[in-house]
Amino acid sequence: MPPEGAAAHYRALESLYAAAPINRLFDSRLEIPAAGSSRIHFTIDARHFHAAGAAHGTSYFKMLDDAAFYAANSLVTDRFLLTTQFSLLLTRPLGEGPVVAEGRWISGQRRVFVAEARLVDATGEEVARGTGTFMRSRIPLATLDGYRAA
């Protein structure tokens, strides 16, 4: 039986994430387990490294922004959200291997949403954290090619 209601929205967002061209550059998979929550499984490899042999900050930003964004957009069924601000705190270097980005909605449900995310490495250590603000765009989710229920 196909998903209905909130579950259908979550599966459609997961499909949208998978369809985004940028995600061809990352081995990653989005899960939205509940409203206001997301989890993205990433694999970091040497392609993501800076000259000193650890993940470049762009990788941290991508993972944290995506997790926070999808946690917030899980609460919005009609419009695509846009990141308007994002702050990062990088606490440990990240090498090759699996990483999980965990996103969580904090506040806002009308025009502006606040969500946070954290990165956890394969040993269970938090390596970074971020907080962002997201606002409703004029882009209907239903018009985006990747937004479809599984």
For the chain, domain boundaries: 5-143
In this prediction, residue 88 carries a pLDDT of 97
Q: Is the pLDDT of residue 149 over 70?
A: no
Q: Report the DSSP beta bridge partners of residue 110.
A: none
Residue with the two structure tokens 């490899």: 45
Averaged pLDDT of the chain: 95
Q: Looking at the predicted structure, is the pLDDT value of residue 8 above 80?
A: yes
pLDDT, mean of residues 50-59 = 95
Q: Between vectors from CA 144 to CA 6 and to CA 133, what angle results, nearest 5°? A: 70
Provide the CATH number for the domain formed by 5-143 in this structure: 3.10.129.10
pLDDT at 1 over 60: no
Pair 148, 15: CB distance under 8 Å: yes
Write down the pLDDT at residue 148: 84
* Average pLDDT, integer, range 1-23: 91
What integer is the mean pLDDT of 11-28?
96
Give the three-class secondary structure for 36: coil
Distance CA 66, CA 27 (A): 14
The whole-model pTM stands at 0.95
Per-residue tokens: 22: 């940028």
Span 86-128, pLDDT tens digits: 999 999 999 999 999 999 999 998 889 999 999 999 999 999 9
Percentage of the chain exceeding pLDDT 90: 92
pLDDT at res. 110? 87
Q: What is the mean predicted confidence (pLDDT) over 73-97?
A: 97
